[in-house]
Chain A
Amino acid sequence: MRVLCCVKRVPAPGAKINITADGQDVDTAHLGFAMSPHEECAVEEAVQLCERFDGEATVLTLGPPEAEEQLRYAASLGVQKAVLLSTDGSSWDPQRTASAIASAIETLEAADGPFDLILFGNESADSGGYQVGIRAAHALGRPIVNAIKGIEPDLDAGTATAKREIDGGFELYNLPMPAVMGVKEGLNLPRYPTMRGRLASKKIEVSVMQAEADEGGQTRVTLKQPAETVSNTVKLGNGPEAAPAIVDLFEELGLL
């Protein structure tokens, strides 16, 4: 089984997300980077499936050269191949991103055969455009369903059952492979890298391809902060002695 996961390098902010002076980007001067949480699960799923079905997992990212860090992290978890679709680091619109990724996938498949499963994060943690996986799947002529939190391939039948979370349960889909899925955190519990994995990830060769595609019809003008929540926090007390005041509050709000 051949599985590809597509990930994005994003900053890992804490209590607040600061913006650069020109308003164009998140100020990452004091921040680390990670891949979006949904995509951590995509990587974990790819590794698990390839362990179970004796397959090969590949990770791909479109981003600046620094995104190699996220590729190596994926490799430290067990992904065997890594592809960097290199950009100058400016923010690419969703149409452009999807089109560059789809043509890169075509190139990779022409060399090594089709991927049975391609996993995207449902939406990226930062720009959250909700469309790159869908556009890429459409360009490749493959089925895609979003919001997937469970995958069970049936290699004999050539299909994969996918579970989508809805309020109060799951919806089930049954996609013929090769298939594409937009996955969400909760699909699995991602592992942490082992020492051996870390060492292996240093040795893995990252194939670099230049990302190329035409700009789409959406352009970032600027980023801005939402209105701050200001609250006059009322202190109800200290420690367990505050329990009666807390339960008074429950009663006041008609909850008890």
Chain B
Amino acid sequence: MADILVLAETEDGAVVPATLEALTAARQLDGDVHVLLCGDSVDADDAAERLGEYGASTVHVGESDLLNVFGPEAWGQALALAIEEISPDVVLASGTSKGNEVLAMAAARLDLPFVANCTELPSELADDDEVELTRVQWGGSLLEQSQLSAETRIVSIAHHALEAESAGGSAAATETIDMEIDDLYARTQVVGREMAEAGVTLATAPIVFGGGRAVGSAEAFAPLEECASLMGGRVGCSRAVTNNGWRPHRDQVGQTGTRIAPELYVASGISGAIQHWVGAMASKQILAINTDPEANMVVKADYFVEGDLHQVIPAVAEEIKKRKA
């Protein structure tokens, strides 16, 4: 049976949900699922219970002072050491920012290839040195069939490519690995945080009011802001808007911005270029407001209002206020 090693990503003292997606994908392969948990920021017994529930048989806890907070070089070395110790056939993480970063770091150390953001894992991955994988290009606008040739196959599974499903498993066994991490790697450890005031973020808002180039200026976003604040949502925008300096980049939806997944995305004056669409497509429902009934956003939306956003949005704000009163 093959051995599969999954990297656990942690945040605020817990294993992140994306890691459970990676475990769900790992379980589909015929193999024994190991997890590397770096440092002591997460309680190992709690983690073993949660990771075991999702199919892990053994949690290897990497112990070193240099692993207790995140650092890409230290974590990358830890993963490389764990690979040497466990000799897995497959090494897997969720394709999050840090997941891909640590896999790439370990791959660089071991001079192995690394295939980022696969959409699914074929069963041959577990037992064949040569395997064809489907992976994401252009942030999801295009797919690539890629041939991976390696004795140890390092891959990430694109975040949200599948939903995490509990296997109903019992707590995983825990083992510790004493890690000798180079002191030098303290140089890339997290030294602090700056958090914005609490509240919904673009990534978590239930409704997003998006505005595109047609909004025309920073000031003209006021009616969209009003709708968002009346409904506990957030304002999003297209790259045309951030390029013009009308909104900060953190509001940008798309390939090089944020992936959103609200209950409803209201896209006003946005044409729906493919790079915008890949950031919006996880929305449960989409309402497009556009003067052009042929716009890509309109064609792909669930609902459509034909018209000038400068008239429609203020009318929507008034209607919300009327019903709330």
Closest Cβ–Cβ distance, residue A48 to chain B (whole Å)? 15
* Other A-B pairs, 7, CB within 8 Å; known A166-B11, A229-B300, A250-B207: A123-B116, A128-B117, A145-B72, A146-B97, A173-B190, A185-B249, A222-B144
Known contacts A138-B105, A174-B191, A239-B312: A186-B250 contact under CB 8 Å: yes
Q: Mark A136-158, 1 if CB is under 8 A from B, else 0.
A: 00110001111101000000000
Q: Which residues of chain A have C-beta atoms less than 8 A from B263's C-beta?
A: 253-255
Answer yes or no: B217 CB below 8 A from chain A CBs.
no
Known contacts A172-B193, A231-B299, A253-B285: A221-B100 contact under CB 8 Å: no
Contact indicator B319/A14 (Cβ below 8 Å): no
Known contacts A138-B108, A172-B192: A247-B145 contact under CB 8 Å: no
Q: Tell me, in angstroms, the Cα distance from A123 to B308 when the chains sit together.
A: 37
Known contacts A138-B109, A189-B245: A250-B302 contact under CB 8 Å: no
Contact indicator A17/B305 (Cβ below 8 Å): no
Chain B at the A interface: SS class: mixed
- Which residues on B are within 8 Å of A, measured CB to CB? 11, 70, 72-73, 95, 97, 100-101, 104-105, 107-109, 111-117, 132, 136-150, 156, 187-196, 198, 201, 203-204, 206-207, 231, 233, 239, 242-243, 245, 248-250, 252, 255-257, 263-264, 266, 271-274, 281, 285, 287-288, 296, 298-308, 311-312, 314-316, 318-320, 323-324
Contact indicator A256/B320 (Cβ below 8 Å): yes
Known contacts A128-B117, A231-B299: A221-B141 contact under CB 8 Å: no
Q: Tell me, in angstroms, the Cα distance from A4 to B140 when the chains sit together.
A: 29
Contact indicator A240/B311 (Cβ below 8 Å): yes
Partner of B138, one of A126, A174, A250: A126
Known contacts A130-B101, A146-B97, A247-B316: A184-B189 contact under CB 8 Å: no
Closest Cβ–Cβ distance, residue B187 to chain A (whole Å)? 5
Q: Which residues of chain A have C-beta atoms less than 8 A from B239's C-beta?
A: 37
Q: Tell me, in angstroms, the Cα distance from A151 to B132 when the chains sit together.
A: 39
Q: Tell me, in angstroms, the Cα distance from A26 to B141 when the chains sit together.
A: 11
Q: Which residues of chain B have C-beta atoms less than 8 A from A95's C-beta?
A: 111, 113
Which residue of chain B has the shortest Cβ distance to A255 in the bound complex? B207
Partner of A217, one of B148, B187, B252, B303: B148
Q: Which residues of chain B have C-beta atoms less than 8 A from A240's C-beta?
A: 307, 311-312, 314-315
Interface residues on A, range: 35 or more
26 A-B contacts (beta carbon < 8 Å): A15-B272, A17-B274, A38-B256, A126-B137, A134-B108, A149-B249, A169-B195, A172-B190, A172-B191, A172-B193, A172-B194, A174-B191, A185-B252, A189-B242, A189-B249, A217-B148, A220-B144, A221-B132, A231-B302, A236-B303, A238-B306, A240-B311, A240-B312, A246-B305, A253-B263, A255-B233
Answer yes or no: A168 CB below 8 A from chain B CBs.
yes
Closest Cβ–Cβ distance, residue A227 to chain B (whole Å)? 9
Contact indicator A246/B146 (Cβ below 8 Å): no
Task: Please provide the chain A residues from 209 to 232 with a CB less than 8 Å away from any CB of chain B in the complex.
Answer: 216-226, 229, 231
Contact indicator A131/B116 (Cβ below 8 Å): yes
Contact indicator A168/B188 (Cβ below 8 Å): no
Known contacts A17-B138, A242-B312: A146-B72 contact under CB 8 Å: yes
Q: Mark A57-91, 1 if CB is under 8 A from B, else 0.
A: 00000000000000000000000000000000000
Contact indicator A131/B104 (Cβ below 8 Å): yes
Q: Tell me, in angstroms, the Cα distance from A255 to B205 when the chains sit together.
A: 11
Answer yes or no: A176 CB below 8 A from chain B CBs.
yes
Contact indicator A221/B146 (Cβ below 8 Å): yes
Contact indicator A224/B145 (Cβ below 8 Å): yes
Contact indicator A175/B188 (Cβ below 8 Å): yes
Q: Tell me, in angstroms, the Cα distance from A251 to B206 when the chains sit together.
A: 13
Which residue of chain B has the shortest Cβ distance to A15 in the bound complex? B296
Which residue of chain B has the shortest Cβ distance to A235 in the bound complex? B304
Known contacts A172-B194, A184-B256, A255-B264: A15-B285 contact under CB 8 Å: no
Q: Which residues of chain A have C-beta atoms less than 8 A from B312's C-beta?
A: 239-240, 242-243, 246
Answer yes or no: A165 CB below 8 A from chain B CBs.
yes
Q: Tell me, in angstroms, the Cα distance from A107 to B257 when the chains sit together.
A: 35
Answer yes or no: A171 CB below 8 A from chain B CBs.
yes
Max chain A C-beta neighbours (<10 A), residue from B116, B148, B305: B305
Q: Tell me, in angstroms, the Cα distance from A99 to B266 when the chains sit together.
A: 45
Q: Which residues of chain A have C-beta atoms less than 8 A from B136's C-beta?
A: 128
Answer yes or no: A234 CB below 8 A from chain B CBs.
yes
List the 8 shortest-distance A-B pairs measured between CB atoms, nearest first. A186-B249, A217-B113, A169-B195, A240-B315, A131-B104, A239-B307, A243-B315, A138-B108
Which residue of chain A has the shortest Cβ distance to B194 in the bound complex? A170
Which residue of chain B has the shortest Cβ distance to A224 in the bound complex? B143
Contact indicator B206/A255 (Cβ below 8 Å): yes
Known contacts A128-B136, A234-B302: A226-B141 contact under CB 8 Å: yes
